Amino acid sequence: MKFVVSYPQTNWDYVKFRLNRIILGKDRSNDVFKGLPGGKLELFEHNGELGGIKSLGELHQIKPFGLQYVTGKGLYFITGLPCSEEGVSGDEHIARMNDKGEIDLEIRNPLLTQVRSLRQTERGLLVTASGVDAILEFDLSGELIWSWWATEHGYDQAYGGGTRVVDKNIDHRLKNYPGRLQTTHLNSAIIDPYDNSKILTILFYQKTLIRIDRDSLEHEIVVSGLNGAHHIRPHSKGYMLSNSRNGEALIYDRNFQLIEKVPGTNRFFPVKWVQDAIETPFGTYLIADCNTFKLRERDKKGREKTYNTHMPNRVFQIEPVDESFSFPSNDIH
């Protein structure tokens, strides 16, 4: 098994930023990091044994977030700097790297701001743009073909107070949207694997998972009481998501009934944060324990092995890829 991990920030200034904001209790405004973030993708191989993880190389990309590998097409991923201050254009965009390691597609759009997740659909690509509290679907030419705006569906109160109205006709890459200006910080969206007429998305601030009808745009809350959740995924028994602040992955059946909690961090570590988790072909879970800079693999007996990603490499997403996928040899470190 091969998989790719994205690290949006790989420098020490970002570590200091997070320490001040979260651990030391400073800067509760959720301001956007304004330094140079670095960023890279890392390719791994898993030999099937518990903890049998080996790095195959790194590829430096600017602030990569969400990604998805599609057989026959390659690795789609989000990359590029966001707007750091009003009027300074960001360059967040969608890129695709084929199996030869070549970037053969780029999609840019004025609505792409603080983009967090990316999933293929039958018509194109579905992304979450946290900066404008929207789920956006583009075809591969970059045309917007479907959208859902949280501010138009009952979520118009900004986290920091006040009513939010999003102007769809301006270039939002010129705008800086810290968390206090957002209403939901929706950060992950997928087509429901058991009903493709529905979309599932996580509303971070509302602590909920909602299901949206693609035609009517009406939605229902299917899971509540989450704590900083990320990465809703299909699971062999239903669904899985990362309940980040509780340091765990949660497994739900197809009726959204909770059936399992998978510990994802050291229970003694004071500030827990599980960013992502996947089900492996080996019957284990691979979990991104971000605040301790580790990939943790747990089996169904509770046994665990860890792989150290090393500070300041904080994992955002884990994505399985085909065995044929590799990075360009001249860029591997």
Question: Is residue 102 a contact partner of residue 173, using CB atoms and an 8 Å limit?
Answer: no
The model's confidence at residue 331, banded by pLDDT at 50, 70 and 90, is low
Q: What is the pLDDT of residue 31?
A: 67
Question: Higher model confidence: residue 35 or residue 72?
Answer: 72
Question: Higher model confidence: residue 153 or residue 333?
Answer: 153
Looking at the chain, the whole-number percentage of residues with pLDDT higher than 90 is 85
- CA–CA dist 330, 333 (Å, integer): 9
Q: Provide mean pLDDT across the span 156-163.
A: 96
- CA–CA dist 292, 308 (Å, integer): 8
Residue 19 has pLDDT above 80, yes or no: no
Q: What is the pLDDT of residue 22?
A: 63
Q: What is the pLDDT of residue 333?
A: 47
Q: What is the pLDDT of residue 48?
A: 96
Listed range (26-40, 64-78, 133-147) with the worst mean pLDDT: 26-40
DSSP character string of 45-68 = EE-SSTT-EEEEEEEE-SS---EE
Neighbours of 169 (CB within 10 A): 6
Nearest to 78 by CA among 87, 86, 68: 68
Checking DSSP bridges between strand 248-253 and strand 53-60, what pairing results, if any? unpaired
Residue ranges of alpha helices (H) inside the chain are 12-18
Question: Is residue 32 a contact partner of residue 76, using CB atoms and an 8 Å limit?
Answer: no
Residue 137 has pLDDT above 50, yes or no: yes
Question: Is residue 69 a contact partner of residue 200, using CB atoms and an 8 Å limit?
Answer: no
**For the segment 147-159, what is each residue's pLDDT rounded down to a tens digit?**
999 999 999 999 9
Neighbours of 92 (CB within 10 A): 24
Put simply, whether the predicted model's pTM sits higher than 0.85 gets the answer yes
Nearest to 270 by CA among 25, 58, 40, 3: 25
**For the segment 38-47, what is each residue's pLDDT rounded down to a tens digit?**
999 999 999 9
Q: What is the pLDDT of residue 27?
A: 56
Question: Is residue 37 a contact partner of residue 11, using CB atoms and an 8 Å limit?
Answer: yes
The model's confidence at residue 98, banded by pLDDT at 50, 70 and 90, is very high
Q: Dihedral of CA 66/39/29/275: which sign?
A: positive
Q: What is the pLDDT of residue 42?
A: 97
Q: What is the pLDDT of residue 29?
A: 55
DSSP character string of 257-315 = -EEEEEE-S-TT-SS--EEEEEE-TTS-EEEEEGGGTEEEEE-TTS-EEEEE--TT---
Residue 18 has pLDDT above 90, yes or no: no
Domains of the chain (ranges; CATH) run 2-331 (2.120.10.30)
**For the segment 114-136, what is each residue's pLDDT rounded down to a tens digit?**
999 999 999 999 999 999 999 99
What's the one-letter identity of residue 176? N
The model's confidence at residue 26, banded by pLDDT at 50, 70 and 90, is low
